[in-house]
A and B are shown apart, each in its own frame.
Chain A
Amino acid sequence: MLDRVKAIIERQLGRGNLQITEETDMLSDLDINSLELVELVCLFEVEFDIEVPEKDIRKFSKVGDIVAYLEATEA
């Protein structure tokens, strides 16, 4: 799951070879802005065929939070 999430992030940001781990902070480590984060959420929704309620976006602080969230929705 981490590899899938990493690939989506790299594709969306147009930057390859990002050093992404589960501890990577979305805003401070990847320097993504709010728009990019919302776009990423939209991509996750399409990729995983899910709907992410607005209240759940605030949980996406680290990449690990996203991985855990997506794994939970797939379970």
Chain B
Amino acid sequence: MRLYVLEAPIEQESQVLEYAASIAPEEKYARIERNRNAQIRVTMAAGEILLSYALQDAFGFEADSNRRTRLPGGKPALCTEDYHFNISHSGSFVFVGVDTAPLGVDIQYHKTIDDGLVKRVLDETELAVCRETDEPVSFFFSCWTKKESILKWHGIGLTGSLKTPPILPENVSVFEIAAPENHSAAACGSSEPVLLTVSLEQIFHTRLQRS
């Protein structure tokens, strides 16, 4: 399971959108363009760019729009069962995972949490730990990202339970991933994760070399 993390600062919006326009499915790009929040536009667009980079890096091909589809539960996928991807973004960071088997990834920046949210997401054991720890926010988002990655592996999103996510097959595990400061990240899949931090400069340079 190859994981890629990328920071997409808002200052690079025009470059990022221009590149994303050339590779993203039309419907996806239209959605990006109409979002009124500049940071969300940039990270959504960067997600398309990072996915393209990741597939090329890991498997030697790009996910052009003809190769993209959605599974019955709405999970974005490639038009082949041989390769799989998952994307997550939070704040200015994008997190993409690619593998030859289904996977789920999640990244989340640490924002303020309240008791209602904590009680909704954590089970009793986790709640007890959260109340005792010196870093409850960090602990909460560690739990959140792990549970989200499981639901995304299953491709069921919030139709699944956060408090008690569905059981995973024996060969599938959840991995806590080293995340940028004030973020948590996790990945769920059937192979050991390898994490690569990528920069926009690196991706643009690679694009130039290939063209």
Contact = CB atoms under 8 A, between A and B. Distances in A.
Interface in A24-70: 27-28, 31, 33-35, 37-39, 41-42, 45-46, 54, 57-58
A10 to B, nearest CB: 11
A1 interface: no
A15 B158 contact: no
A24 to B, nearest CB: 12
Contacts of B35: 31
Given A35-B144, A38-B120, A42-B117, A15 B31 contact: no
Contacts of A34: 148, 151, 157-158
Contacts of A39: 117
Contacts of A37: 158
B162 A54 contact: yes
A60 to B, nearest CB: 8
Contacts of B108: 35
Contacts of B120: 38, 41-42, 54
B157 to A, nearest CB: 7
Given A17-B36, A33-B90, A38-B117, 18 more contacts: A18-B36, A28-B31, A31-B31, A31-B37, A31-B44, A34-B157, A34-B158, A35-B144, A35-B148, A37-B158, A38-B120, A38-B158, A42-B116, A42-B117, A54-B120, A54-B163, A57-B158, A58-B158
Contact of B159 (A38, A45, A58): A58
Size bin of chain B's contact surface: 20 to 34
B37 A15 contact: yes
Contacts of A33: 90
Interface in B122-179: 144, 148, 151, 157-159, 161-163
Contacts of A42: 114, 116-117, 120
A37 to B, nearest CB: 6
B21 interface: no
Given A42-B114, A42-B116, A54-B163, A31 B158 contact: no
B152 to A, nearest CB: 9
A35 to B, nearest CB: 6
